[in-house]
């Protein structure tokens, strides 16, 4: 039995928010290919989609790409802000921020080390901050899968929204047809991590 087959999770459906997010990433990616300035302004397609879905739930998140914390040169994907903070800034004082959120469409090579290094540096500067990684989808058992264990700190949590049997060869994860084919062939399962992540940041 494959690791995917042994995963006791429900198959992803068209009605699931996670499937809609995967499709929104493909749409945003194509938009950014046409409008080259869009990514520089708002961030990569997965960042834009996660941001928009969290904003619809009422969370206060940064609007701009590559935002920094005062005293650090690290460029961050998203910051979960306190309710009074202005989301349209390029830099934030630590007392304006609740959580640093890294976003990946999937893990390319060993992303865990790079994310951990950034989180470690920020934690030294701002011990009160919380940290999370959101991965939209990953192949079950992939050697570079981002996990809590690889991040190596109980304060760094990873959330992988969709588990895949395979990586789509036809156009990859930014191709709408490839995502639709994965769904049609029952190659994706819903992990429950999106709901777990929402609960986590609600309690931030």
Provide the domain limits for residue 198.
17-202
Report if residue 10 sits inside a domain: no
Q: What is the pLDDT of residues 91-127, one digit of tens each?
A: 999 999 999 999 999 988 789 999 999 999 999 999 9
Report if residue 172 sits inside a domain: yes
Report if residue 194 sits inside a domain: yes
Q: Establish how many alpha carbons lie within 13 A of residue 95's alpha carbon, considering only the half-sphere containing its beta carbon.
A: 0
Report if residue 75 sits inside a domain: yes
Percent over 70 (pLDDT), the chain: 98
**pLDDT at residue 1 in the model:** 56
Q: What is the pLDDT of residues 149-199, one digit of tens each?
A: 999 999 999 999 999 999 987 779 999 999 999 999 999 999 999 999 999
The count of domains in the chain is: 1
Report if residue 80 sits inside a domain: yes
Closest CA to 165 of 137, 187, 182, 180: 187
Note if the pTM is more than 0.85.
yes
Which of the four pLDDT bands, split at 50, 70 and 90, describes residue 201?
very high
């Amino acid at each position: 039995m494959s690791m995917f087959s042994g995963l006791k999770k429900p198959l992803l459906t068209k009605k699931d928010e996670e499937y809609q997010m995967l499709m929104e990433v493909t749409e945003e990616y194509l938009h950014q290919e046409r409008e080259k300035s869009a990514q520089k302004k708002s961030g990569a397609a997965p960042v834009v989609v996660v941001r928009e879905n969290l904003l619809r739930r009422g969370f206060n998140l940064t609007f701009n790409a590559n935002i920094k914390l005062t005293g650090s040169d690290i460029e961050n994907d998203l910051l979960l802000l306190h309710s009074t903070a202005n989301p349209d800034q390029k830099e934030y004082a630590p007392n304006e921020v609740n959580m640093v959120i890294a976003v990946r469409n999937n893990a390319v090579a060993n992303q865990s080390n790079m994310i951990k290094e950034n989180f470690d540096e920020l934690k030294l500067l701002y011990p009160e901050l919380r940290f999370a990684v959101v991965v939209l989808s990953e192949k079950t058992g992939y050697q570079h899968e981002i996990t809590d264990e690889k991040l190596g700190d109980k304060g760094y949590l990873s959330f992988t929204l969709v588990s895949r049997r395979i990586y789509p060869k036809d156009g990859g994860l930014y191709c709408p047809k490839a995502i639709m084919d994965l769904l049609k062939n029952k190659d994706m399962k819903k992990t429950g991590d999106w709901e777990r992540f929402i609960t986590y940041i609600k309690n931030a």
